[in-house]
Amino acid sequence: MKVGRFQVMAVLQAARAKQLGFSDTRAKSWGLNRAIFYAAAKRGFKKRPGPGGAMGHRAEVKAKETLLLGDEMAYTSKRGTRLYFTIGGTIQTEADFNKQIESRFGTHFTQAWKEALAIVDQYPDEVLRSQSRFFSEVYRPRRDNLASKWTEMSGT
């Protein structure tokens, strides 16, 4: 399978969250959540059919809690002792990240993850904490090059 902009966004967002102090589990949840959010924004936030669908697991949650990463807010939900991000009532877990993102890289996800961490490490926290600056300075300039490079690396 091809590594596309969706996967690049998810990996870079997860690396951003990791750099700003999130655990691996929470960073992956954040990365997938933000990739889904930006994809939905691009489509105009149209609803997808079916409970959970390809986006994750439906959350059985009434009250909405939020968490900020810099100036960007996302809804959260607890599953057991773990806090995950949600969008449209759907939880994004590390298993969802593995299925939708890591699986595209074959056996080369660790290499891509290290590259993403090195990329975000080049930027000061003020860039990483800004939704617009992260998008315009970190993601946008390299999204297509990373998609091509990571697709080639994964042998797909």
137-150: average pLDDT: 97
Question: Could you tell me the pLDDT band of residue 47, with boundaries at 50, 70 and 90?
Answer: low
Question: Other C-beta atoms within 10 Å of 154: how many?
Answer: 20
Nearest to 155 by CA among 116, 111, 120: 111
Residue 37, pLDDT > 60, answer yes
Residue 24 has a pLDDT of 94
Distance CA(69)–CA(113), nearest Å, equals 20
Residue 49, pLDDT > 80, answer no
pTM over 0.85: yes
CB of 66 closer than 8 Å to CB of 75: yes
Helices (H) and strands (E) in the chain, counts: 7, 5
Residue 44 has a pLDDT of 78
Distance CA(39)–CA(34), nearest Å, equals 8
Domain boundaries, the chain: 5-48+94-154
41-49: average pLDDT: 68
16-39: average pLDDT: 96
Strand pairing category for 57-58 and 65-69: unpaired
Residue 59 has a pLDDT of 47
Residue 56 has a pLDDT of 54
Question: Which residue's structure tokens are 């299925």?
Answer: 99
21-50: average pLDDT: 86
Question: Other C-beta atoms within 10 Å of 54: how many?
Answer: 11
- DSSP letters, 78-140, are EETTEEEEEETTEEE-HHHHHHHTGGGGGGGHHHHHHHHHHHHHTS-HHHHT-HHHIIIIIIT
Query: Between 121 and 52, where is the model more confident?
Result: 121
Distance CA(17)–CA(120), nearest Å, equals 10
